[in-house]
Amino acid sequence: MRRPYIAANWKMMKNLAETEEFINSFIPLVAGISDVDILIAPPFTSLSIASHLLLPTNIKLGAQNMHYEENGAYTGEISADMLLFAGCSTVIIGHSERRQYFNETDEIVNKKIKTAKKKGLEVILCVGESLEERESGRTFGVLDKQLAGSLKDISMDGVTVAYEPIWAIGTGRTATPEIANETHGYIREWLNKNKGNAGSVRIQYGGSVKPENISELMAQSEIDGALVGGASLKPESFANIIKGAKK
C-alpha cells in the first residue's frame, strides 16, 4: 500500500511571525503521527525559520517553485541549491497558478524537474484541466499533453503527481471522490504505459480539500494524498486533514 502524503501549499500567505506561530501550534497537533508523510511549503521568505522549527520533527519542508537554471542573472528567481541550503527536501513544480499567471509551459516545467532531480530535490508535479476542458470532454487529452511534456526523459523516482482540477481550486467545488479516483486511475495508467511500473508512484488530489471531505477522498483506491491550499492555513484544519488521511 502506498503511504499517504499530505502537503500544504501556503501560496502567497504568511509572513515570518505567522509562519512561526503556525508551526509552533501545528507540531503538537500531529505529534505521534508516523504513518502519513507531511509537507509544508511556505513562501520563500519563511523557508529558513520553517526549516529551523521543523528540524526536530518528521515534517518535510518544501518550496512552491524554483528556476531551472542553477545560477545566473535571473533577478527575483530562486535556484535548487538555494532551496537545499534553506532546508528543503521537495519542490512543487507546474502548479496551475504558475501555468496560468506566469505562462509556464510543459517545456519549462520539464526543465525545472530535471534540475530539481539532478540536485536531489523530490518533486510534486501538478497537472489538471480547466472547467471548459472538463465540460468539453478533453480532460484526458489535456492530461496526456501535460504528462508527456512535463515528464519527457524523466524517471519517476522521487516524483509525486498532484492532480488538481483547476475548476476546483479555491472555488469550494470539489470533484466527487469517484470522478477524482477515475482521473487518478487514468494518470496511473498513463504512467504505467509510458514510464513503466507506476504502482509505487503517489498521486495526490488538490482542489478544495478540507477536513470534511478528506476521508472520503482517501477511501478511493487511486488517491494517495492531497495538495492542500486554503485549508492548510490554520493549524487545526490542516492537522484534521492529516488525521483523516489514514488509509
Q: How far is residue 247 CA from its own chain's centroid?
A: 19
CB-based contact 67:37 (threshold 8 Å): no
CB-based contact 187:162 (threshold 8 Å): no
DSSP reduced 3-state for 137: coil
What are the C-alpha distances in Å from 212 to residues 99, 185, 217, 240, 247?
Answer: 29, 23, 10, 9, 16
Q: Strand pairing partners for 91?
A: 63, 123
Q: Which member of 95, 97, 129, 222 is catalytic?
A: 95
Asked about 67 being catalytic, the answer comes back as: no
Q: CA–CA separation, 76 vs 63, rounded Å?
A: 15
CB-based contact 202:160 (threshold 8 Å): yes
Q: CA–CA separation, 62 vs 64, rounded Å?
A: 7
Q: Which member of 97, 104, 129, 164 is catalytic?
A: 164
Asked about 164 being catalytic, the answer comes back as: yes
- Catalytic residues, by residue number, are 95, 164
